[in-house]
Amino acid sequence: MRTFHFERIHDVSGTSGCGRVADGVVFDDGQTVVHWFGKHSSVNVYHSFSDVEWIHGHQGNTQIVFHDGGKEEAKRDGK
């Protein structure tokens, strides 16, 4: 499994703010869990890492930083 965090450059929705806004983990089968920080924190489970990128990437306004130094392209969910 791989851990990562979201580094929000611009808060498009006005909800989570900027900077480090969430931590996450991608499991070997591609399922991904994201833990959001802040006043209304939550934990969300996604079918694939690709889903997380599509929903929360905000067209490049959020960087996904893997803690193992690997690249985003090294996803294991087959997408």
Residue-range definition of the domain harbouring residue 47: 2-66
User: What's the rounded mean pLDDT across residues 66-77?
Assistant: 61
Kindly list the distances between the CA atom of residue 43 and the CA atoms of 8, 30, 35, 47, in Å, as whole numbers in the listed order: 17, 17, 4, 14
Residue 33 lies in a domain: yes
The whole-angstrom separation of Cα 75 and Cα 27 is 10
User: What's the rounded mean pLDDT across residues 11-32?
Assistant: 82
Tens digit of each residue's pLDDT (9 = 90 or more) over 57-67? 756 678 889 99
Count of domains forming the chain:
1
Question: How much is the pTM?
Answer: 0.75
User: What's the rounded mean pLDDT across residues 17-39?
Assistant: 90
Residue 74 lies in a domain: no
Is residue 74 scored above 60 in pLDDT? no
Is residue 34 scored above 90 in pLDDT? yes
Residue 19 lies in a domain: yes
